[in-house]
Amino acid sequence: MNRFLLLLTNTRELFTVGFLAILFMVTGIINSDFLSIGNLVLIFNGSVIYILLAIGVSFVILTGDIDVSVGAILGLTAAVSATIIRDGGSLFFAFAVTIGIGALVGLINGMGVTKLRIPAIIMTLGTTGIVRGSVYVYTKGKWVENLPSDFKSYGQISLFGLVNVFLLITVLIVIALHFYLKRGRSGKYYSAVGDNLNGAVLVGIPVDWIRISAFVLSGIFAALAGIVFASKIGFVTPTAGSGYEMKAIAACVLGGISLAGGVGSVIGAMFGAIIMSSISRILVFLKFSSNLDHTITGVLLLVIVVFDALIQQQLKEKARRERLAAKDLRAKKAYEEQEEATNE
Amino acid sequence: MNRLSSYNWKKILLRWEYALVLILIIEILIFGAINPRFLRVNVLLGSINDYVSICIIALFGTIVMITGGIDISGGSIVGLTSMVLGLLWQDMSMSIWLALALSLFTGILCGALNGFLIAYIGVQAMVVTLGGMFLYHGLAVVLSSLSVSSAYEGISGFPREFIMIAGGKFMGILPNPFIIFIVMAILAFVLLHKTRYGRSVFLVGVNPNAADYSGINHRFIKMSTYMLSGFAASVAGVILTSYLGSSRADFGNELTMPIITAVVLGGTAITGGKGSIIGTALAAIVIGILRFGLQMSGLTTQYLDIPVGMLLVIVVAIRGTMSFMKFPKLFVKKMNN
């Protein structure tokens, strides 16, 4: 039983994948249309934006900080890239500019958190306001519309008629990042910093640099999500992406990333994002009102974190008891040795 | 002796609350210079209607943050309260006052759920209230779909007495929401700064283990702060419903960020153990007046996030670096005295 608990905590992403599989299976049993290839493809293709946001945020959460500015960054970069494309700029230029914006906002966040010692949630809250306001300044409060159709068609290009190009690239990025974080030398620094900041300083990890780069990565991924957003949706409103930051964080939590930092993986974040974005579709297939979307998300989040907290407590308690038992054993042994010594 | 008095004088002058008052006065003067209509007492007092929800929730959000937690579900509780109130009154044909009482109770219940999971199960506050934010907003949406009125229009047509809760004026001058805000502020101030409960809140924030050893039930204290915060959110929900004359699920959705901004700007440490109600109340008014004033000087509402965001970052950065540099000096002085 305890080994099972330990396995569960060590492979939290597996737990998420299992949960996703059960969710899909149960829905499929009740309504077999759900498991049709076309529907599954729609679900996976529809979750790209959330996946991109979630893997970006997961870097920041791994280092023990939090980033609530990704929704605003998505809004700004979507608006900027859409405007560039609409006015005839090249796709490459749009990519370069938006990624630059994302990286810049991330850099500002990172510098504020590490150099000025502003708590992450406050710093990113502040940049959220500034960036979201900039969207209005930039677009003058109007929608960005009339995007050329070949830009919009990028969202429809798919391999073998199934896998969307965006999704394919995203999944490849996730796999690469997963191996970087788990096997790469500097990749492991992220969770090390989140697990024990002072310890990381002591063993010589460039802590500030790692934390800043996490924010920069988060900004860059939010920028990528912004381009995908513009291409998929086809128009950009000034409020685009507001509220997405909370969904991205929720996706990370669903994917087994601990907000305390140091625990979790980008694969988990990806599956968390897929669960997040498939809930409303599942509800429709189960013939429930999709109004229940937020309720289910909330309940799911709470249940998972409570479950997780209880397991952690049990493990901690067990470790404590083992420690105490070992102490007892040592004391007993020492006593016996002393007895023997006196007997002799 | 001389040094002591100068130290006290400096300490008093450097209090953050005075800086906030100064910012507030400068703000009012600048906006008054741009648009003289702004300086009319009626306009200035009436402006509080626009941001009273932020003020009230921030007051009790401060208490939560002092224990080292955070509550981001307040905005959703506002919407849920509003829907519960409307639904009980219209579709269950309850008396409006009973519906009001029950909707206030809803807020406390939501806070209790948050608090229970945080204090007794030991989940991080940020995660629980994030889940709560989704859950309560979701419930509000579900409730609005149960009602006979469409979700878009919301429930309206409340009796006049109820509308007068926020629409009326106390003694013909002061708008009622202002009075409610003052009452809530006094309540929070007395609770936090003048009672035994308040001392335990601070102690729990500084060191929960020490609080536990000194015989304080730190779990209950933590849970109760979330209940207070939920209660404040539902009071804000009732005021908003009364002021706008309708109840809708999406009320309060945009409030989360301004609330945290107000609490932090008021001088509350996000790590807990430090903070004051007066600071938060002043900061909430500073933010509210800033938004209102910019609006009156002709800026559209959408730009307002920029100055508020900048204010937040700059103030926290300055305060952080100042306390960082000054701490050793003050410490030395204290030792000498």
In this structure, what is the dihedral angle of CA atoms B157, B162, B167, B172, given to the nearest 10 degrees? 140
Specify the amino acid at residue B14: L
pLDDT (mean) for A116-141 = 87
Buried b (16+ CB within 10 A) or exposed e, A253-284: bbbbbbbebbbbbbbbbbbbbbbbbbbbbbbe
Whole-number Å distance between alpha carbons of B217 and A326: 32
Is the pLDDT at B63 greater than 80, yes or no? yes
| Cβ–Cβ below 8 Å for A126 and B310 | yes
| Cβ–Cβ below 8 Å for B131 and A305 | yes
Q: How confident is the model at residue B59 (pLDDT cuts 50, 70, 90)?
A: very high
Q: Enumerate the residues of chain B whose CB falls inside 8 A of the CB of residue A126.
A: 309-310, 312-313, 316
Is-contact A73 A130, C-beta < 8 A? no
* Mean pLDDT for all residues in chain A: 85
pLDDT at residue number B333:
45
3-state secondary structure of A144: strand
pLDDT at residue number B290:
84
How many C-beta neighbours within 10 Å does residue A245 have?
Answer: 24
Is the pLDDT at B11 greater than 60, yes or no? no
Taking chain B, what is the end-to-end CA distance rounded to the nearest angstrom? 9
For chain A, how many structural domains are there in total?
Answer: 1
Residue A306: partners with Cβ closer than 8 Å, 6 or more residues away = B117, B121, B123
| Cβ–Cβ below 8 Å for A291 and B260 | no
- Domain of A116 in residue numbering reads as 2-287
Which DSSP string do the residues of A260-308 spell out, in sequence order? TSS---HHHHHHHHHHHHHHHHHHHHTT--GGGHHHHHHHHHHHHHHHH
Choose among B2, B1, B6: nearest CA to B330. B6
- B268, B313, B323: best mutation site toward chain A, by most A Cβ within 10 Å? B313
Beta-carbon contacts below 8 Å between A and B? 148
| Cβ–Cβ below 8 Å for B309 and A127 | yes
Q: How confident is the model at residue A216 (pLDDT cuts 50, 70, 90)?
A: very high
Chain B contacts in chain A segment 12-51 (CB below 8 A): none
Q: Enumerate the residues of chain B whose CB falls inside 8 A of the CB of residue A297.
A: 134-135, 138
To the nearest whole Å, the CA of B110 is away from the closest chain A CA by: 13
| Cβ–Cβ below 8 Å for A260 and B142 | no
Q: Enumerate the residues of chain B whose CB falls inside 8 A of the CB of residue A295.
A: 134-135, 138-139, 141-142
3-state secondary structure of B155: strand
* Dihedral pair phi/psi, residue B247, rounded to 5°: -120, 125
Indicate the range of A149-158, B40-49, B260-269 predicted with least confidence.
A149-158
**Is residue A175 one of the residues assigned to a domain?**
yes
Please tell me the pTM assigned to this model. Answer: 0.83
Which one has a higher pLDDT value, B33 or B296? B33
Q: How far is CA A84 from CA A139, A144, A266, A308, B172, in A?
A: 12, 10, 31, 45, 55
**Is residue A305 one of the residues assigned to a domain?**
no
Q: Helix crossing, A120-139 with B256-265: angle to 10°?
A: 130
To the nearest whole Å, the CA of A73 is away from the closest chain B CA by: 14
pLDDT (mean) for B197-222 = 88
To the nearest whole Å, the CA of B91 is away from the closest chain A CA by: 19
pLDDT at residue number A241:
81
pLDDT (mean) for A121-127 = 88
| Cβ–Cβ below 8 Å for B141 and A291 | yes
pLDDT (mean) for B200-221 = 88
To the nearest whole Å, the CA of B176 is away from the closest chain A CA by: 30
Token look-up 């995908």 returns A228
For a pLDDT cut of 70, what percent of chain B falls above it? 88
Encode pLDDT of A262-319 as tens digits: 888 888 899 999 988 888 888 888 887 777 888 888 888 888 888 878 877 887 888 8
Whole-number Å distance between alpha carbons of B126 and A86: 40
Longest dimension (CA), chain B: 73
Indicate the range of A134-143, A273-282, A327-336, B295-304 predicted with least confidence.
B295-304
Whole-number Å distance between alpha carbons of A266 and A264: 7
Encode pLDDT of A218-238 as tens digits: 999 999 999 989 888 888 888
Which among A117, A129, A297 is the nearest to B305, CB-wise? Answer: A129
3-state secondary structure of B289: helix
Task: Check if A126 contacts B (Cβ < 8 Å).
Answer: yes
Is the pLDDT at B7 greater than 70, yes or no? no
Looking at residue B194, what DSSP letter applies?
I
Which DSSP string do the residues of A209-243 spell out, in sequence order? HHHHHHHHHHHHHHHHHHHHHHHHHSSB-TTTTTT
Encode pLDDT of A165-179 as tens digits: 788 888 899 999 988
| Cβ–Cβ below 8 Å for A297 and B141 | no
Chain B contacts in chain A segment 229-258 (CB below 8 A): 238, 243, 246, 249-250, 253
Task: Check if A76 contacts B (Cβ < 8 Å).
Answer: no
Q: How confident is the model at residue B2 (pLDDT cuts 50, 70, 90)?
A: very low
To the nearest whole Å, the CA of B93 is away from the closest chain A CA by: 24
pLDDT at residue number B334:
45
Task: Check if A3 contacts B (Cβ < 8 Å).
Answer: no
To the nearest whole Å, the CA of B66 is away from the closest chain A CA by: 15
Choose among B129, B112, B106: nearest CA to B241. B106
**Is residue A334 one of the residues assigned to a domain?**
no
Which among B138, B305, B306 is the nearest to A293, CB-wise? Answer: B138
Q: Enumerate the residues of chain A whose CB falls inside 8 A of the CB of residue B320.
A: 116-118
Chain B contacts in chain A segment 136-175 (CB below 8 A): 136-137, 141
Nearest CA in chain B to A294: B138
**Is residue A87 one of the residues assigned to a domain?**
yes
* Mean pLDDT for all residues in chain B: 82
For a pLDDT cut of 90, what percent of chain B falls above it? 25
Beta bridge partner(s), residue B170: B174
Complex-level ipTM beyond the 0.85 threshold:
no
Q: How confident is the model at residue A258 (pLDDT cuts 50, 70, 90)?
A: confident
Is-contact B66 B192, C-beta < 8 A? yes
Q: Enumerate the residues of chain A whose CB falls inside 8 A of the CB of residue B137.
A: 294, 298
pLDDT (mean) for A40-61 = 89
- B77, B126, B316: best mutation site toward chain A, by most A Cβ within 10 Å? B316
Is-contact B289 B34, C-beta < 8 A? no
**Is residue A315 one of the residues assigned to a domain?**
no
Is the pLDDT at A334 greater than 60, yes or no? yes
Give the pair of three-digit tokens for residue A322. Answer: 């083992």
pLDDT (mean) for A182-210 = 88
Indicate the range of A201-215, A232-246, B113-127 predicted with least confidence.
A232-246
Task: Check if A69 contacts B (Cβ < 8 Å).
Answer: no
For a pLDDT cut of 70, what percent of chain A falls above it? 94
Nearest CA in chain A to B257: A125
Check residue A112 and give left, alpha or beta (phi > 0: left; psi -120 to 50: alpha). Answer: alpha
Nearest CA in chain A to B314: A126
In this structure, what is the dihedral angle of CA atoms A240, A244, A246, A248, given to the nearest 10 degrees? -160
Q: How far is CA A273 from CA A147, A264, A268, B335, in A?
A: 27, 14, 9, 54
Whole-number Å distance between alpha carbons of B18 and B12: 9
Check residue B138 and give left, alpha or beta (phi > 0: left; psi -120 to 50: alpha). Answer: alpha
To the nearest whole Å, the CA of A123 is away from the closest chain B CA by: 6
Is-contact B7 B333, C-beta < 8 A? yes
Is the pLDDT at A121 greater than 90, yes or no? no
pLDDT (mean) for A127-133 = 89
Encode pLDDT of B248-257 as tens digits: 888 877 788 7
Is the pLDDT at B152 greater than 90, yes or no? no
Q: Residue A45 maps to which CATH number?
A: 1.10.3470
Q: How confident is the model at residue A3 (pLDDT cuts 50, 70, 90)?
A: low
Specify the amino acid at residue B309: G
Q: How confident is the model at residue A53 (pLDDT cuts 50, 70, 90)?
A: very high
Is the pLDDT at B306 greater than 60, yes or no? yes
| Cβ–Cβ below 8 Å for B320 and A296 | no
pLDDT at residue number A5:
61
Task: Check if A259 contacts B (Cβ < 8 Å).
Answer: yes
Whole-number Å distance between alpha carbons of B154 and B64: 31
How many C-beta neighbours within 10 Å does residue B295 have?
Answer: 16
Which one has a higher pLDDT value, A341 or A249? A249
Buried b (16+ CB within 10 A) or exposed e, A33-51: ebeeeebebebbbbbbbbb
**Is residue A337 one of the residues assigned to a domain?**
no
Indicate the range of A39-48, A281-290, B88-97, B315-324 predicted with least confidence.
B315-324
Which one has a higher pLDDT value, A89 or B60? B60
pLDDT at residue number B331:
46
Indicate the range of A118-127, A130-139, A210-219, A317-326 predicted with least confidence.
A317-326
Is the pLDDT at A161 greater than 80, yes or no? no
pLDDT at residue number A159:
66
Top CATH class of B46-304 equals mainly alpha
Mean pLDDT is highest, among A12-16, A201-205, A327-331, B305-309, for A201-205
**Is residue A331 one of the residues assigned to a domain?**
no
